[in-house]
């Protein structure tokens, strides 16, 4: 089957609720300019404000840890809030997902475009990873309904669509994971799935994943994708254009991910939307 035809078939499975879309930072770029749309771009935005040592430079998680350690958490918060201050209109993929409402969507970047696309409708909610910085309780996540109201630590099983943001949301009143300190306890526990909400685990069961706008050239991104897709169905697929790094190729082979060498614009074309 030709790649464009295969892509259309995979998107049909997402629309039917049989496949879980997993959105990486690249999807944020389809919402237009104004916000960082890759770990490298966000790292550059932070380093433009705070000079990091060479050993950390270029690595988002290490640079965030340096800023947090030397300038305190509030400085890191202020920098990234400014970086994500623009609220571009949701892209075609965001709008399509909000329309078809798959049971589970993993949104693995810090922007709020998908949430914005679903606003004004009911029957959905989102759950986000939270940093334990400043927390006195053992908390991994917070869940919010379609109105944006906090409903607790766990999402409502009755929601038609659940958006899972494992790294959090950069928006006033919300939390995010970015520094090494944020991730240390999560990475210790993620292999036994403790940080992943039970409802997310339930909804991934029996469904393979479709990775869109993702690159797996970073160990942190591979770890989260591996653990979130754990105990789901076989037959994952990914739209990734161009050459793969050695580690990316190994990761795709490890998880049995079918790769479509297509640009992300091809997804908008398959949906009949302008790229």
In this structure, what is the dihedral angle of CA atoms 201, 22, 79, 181, given to the nearest 10 degrees? Answer: 40
Q: Determine the structural domain holding residue 254 and report its residue range.
A: 3-35+84-270
**pLDDT (tens digit per residue) in 62-111:** 999 999 998 889 999 999 999 999 888 999 999 999 999 999 999 999 99
Query: Sign of the C-alpha dihedral, residues 226, 193, 97, 17?
Result: positive
Instruction: Return d(Cα 192, Cα 9) in angstroms, integer.
Output: 33
Both 69 and 151 in a single domain?
no
Low-confidence ranges of the chain (pLDDT < 70): 133-137, 273-275
Same domain as 153, residue 26 = yes
Do 42 and 126 lie in a common domain? no
Check whether residue 57 and residue 182 sit in a common domain: no
Residue 216 lies in a domain: yes
Look up the CATH number of the domain holding residue 184.
3.40.50
Residue 111: per-residue pLDDT? 96
Q: Is residue 275 part of a domain?
A: no
Domain final position from 48, 83, 118: 83
Whether 144 is covered by a domain: the verdict is yes
Q: How far is CA 116 from CA 38, 53, 147, 148, in A?
A: 19, 36, 11, 11
Residue 46, domain member (yes or no): yes
If one counts the domains in the chain, the total is 2
In a shared domain, residues 22 and 108: yes
Runs of H (alpha helix) within the chain: 3-15, 25-28, 39-47, 60-71, 73-83, 92-100, 113-118, 180-189, 198-204, 219-228, 246-255, 265-270
Which pLDDT score, from 0 to 100, does residue 3 have? Answer: 86
Residues 48 and 163 in one domain: no
Q: Are residues 44 and 140 in the same domain?
A: no
215 phi and psi angles, rounded to 5 deg: -120, 150
């Amino acid at each position: 089957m030709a790649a464009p035809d295969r892509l259309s078939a995979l998107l049909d499975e997402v629309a039917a609720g049989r496949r879980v879309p997993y959105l990486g930072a690249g999807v944020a770029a389809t919402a237009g300019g104004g916000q960082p749309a890759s770990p490298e771009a966000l790292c550059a935005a932070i380093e433009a404000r705070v000079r990091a040592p060479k050993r950390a430079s270029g690595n988002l998680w290490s640079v965030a840890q340096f800023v947090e350690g030397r300038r305190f958490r509030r400085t890191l918060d202020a920098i990234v809030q400014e970086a994500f201050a623009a609220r571009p209109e949701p892209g075609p993929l965001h709008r399509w997902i909000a329309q078809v409402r798959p049971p589970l969507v993993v949104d693995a970047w810090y922007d709020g475009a998908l949430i914005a696309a679903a606003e004004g409708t009911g029957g959905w909610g989102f759950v986000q990873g939270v940093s334990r910085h400043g927390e006195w309780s053992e908390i991994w996540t917070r869940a919010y309904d379609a109105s944006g109201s906090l409903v607790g630590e766990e999402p409502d099983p009755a929601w038609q669509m659940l958006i899972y943001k494992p790294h959090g949301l950069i928006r006033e009143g919300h939390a995010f994971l970015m520094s090494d300190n944020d991730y240390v306890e999560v990475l210790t526990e993620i292999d036994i799935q403790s940080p992943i909400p039970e409802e997310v685990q339930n909804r991934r069961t029996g469904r393979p994943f479709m990775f869109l706008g993702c690159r797996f050239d970073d160990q942190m991104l591979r770890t989260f994708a591996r653990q979130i897709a754990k105990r789901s169905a076989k037959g994952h697929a990914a739209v990734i254009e161009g050459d793969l790094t050695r580690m990316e190729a190994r990761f795709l082979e490890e998880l049995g991910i079918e790769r479509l060498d297509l640009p992300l614009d091809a997804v908008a074309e398959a949906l009949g939307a302008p790229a």
